[in-house]
Structures are given as C-alpha cells and as structure tokens.
Amino acid sequence: VQLQASGGGLAQTGGSLRLSCAASGRSFSNYAMAWFRQTPGKEREFVAAISWNGGTTIYADSVKGRFTISRDNTKNTVSLQMNSLKPEDTAVYYCAARFSKSPTVVGGDRYYSAWGQGTQVTVSS
C-alpha cells in the first residue's frame, strides 16, 4: 500500500487542523492505520491508531481528548482531526499502515510497514 498525507499547515494555539492520508495499492481494509509525528532531534512519536474497520482507536496521552482518528474504507482514507492545538503539537506528521485484521491496534512504529511522506504542522503561540 502507498500512502500520501496532506492537510498540514499553520494554526494558532487553540485552533484546528485536519490531516488526511490517501492509500492506494492493496486493499485498504486489510490495514490498521496510524499517525505518528516527529520533531528535529527527537524520536518519532505515536499519536493515534485505528483498526481495520474503525472499531478500535487508541491515542497517545498527550493528544487524548483533542485529536480524533477516523477512516473511510470506501474512499481509502484515514484522517486525523486535531483540535485545541498547542505549540508542542508542532511536528511533521506521518501516516502509517500495518497489515492487520485484528480488532486490537498497537502504537509501536516497528509494527507499521508502510509510511507516507509526512506533512508539516506548525502551531504558533
């Protein structure tokens, strides 16, 4: 599966952005999907993940209650709605795919085999 992320940009503290990731190639519904983020000099950080059918979602504590991950298997897309943005949310955001039909999802980046190119999110204070 090939992934293409979009929707990043500049937002003010307290604002919102919506990221999207379009998938092409093999059957999208065979994949759990996730969002990660990375800032210069730091390791890639898990943000959110969703199971193949959208039945299970998990979030990093730092974004819980502010971010929402969703997917549309008819359109081969996964989205990340980001509300109440903070300057510490500034990062390059990556979508990732893991071949899995399990109802559970995992947050470790080593479990994800396909990655998008990243989209920059900048939150000004």
Give residue-wise pLDDT tens across range 104-122: 999 999 999 999 999 999 9
Query: Coil, strand, or helix at residue 64?
Result: coil
Overall average pLDDT of the 68-95 stretch: 98
Cβ atoms within 10 Å of 42's Cβ, excluding its own: 9
Three-class SS state of 68 = strand
d(CA 89, CA 111): 23
Question: At residue 103, does pLDDT exceed 80?
Answer: yes
Q: Is the pLDDT of residue 43 over 80?
A: yes
Three-state SS for 111? helix
pLDDT value at 8 more than 80:
yes
Residue identified by tokens 């000004």 is 124
Per the CB < 8 A criterion, the answer to whether 84 and 56 are in contact is no
- Output the six-digit token pair for 8: 């990043």
Mean confidence (pLDDT) of the chain? 96
Average pLDDT rounded to a whole number, residues 86-96: 98
Query: What is the C-alpha separation between 108 and 85, in angstroms, rounded?
Result: 23
| 26: pLDDT strictly greater than 80 | no
Phi, psi of 102, deg, nearest 5: -75, 150
User: What is residue 25's predicted lDDT score, i.e. its pLDDT?
Assistant: 79
Q: How far apart are CA 90 and CA 101, in angstroms?
A: 32
What's the CA gap between 107 and 46, in Å, rounded?
Answer: 6
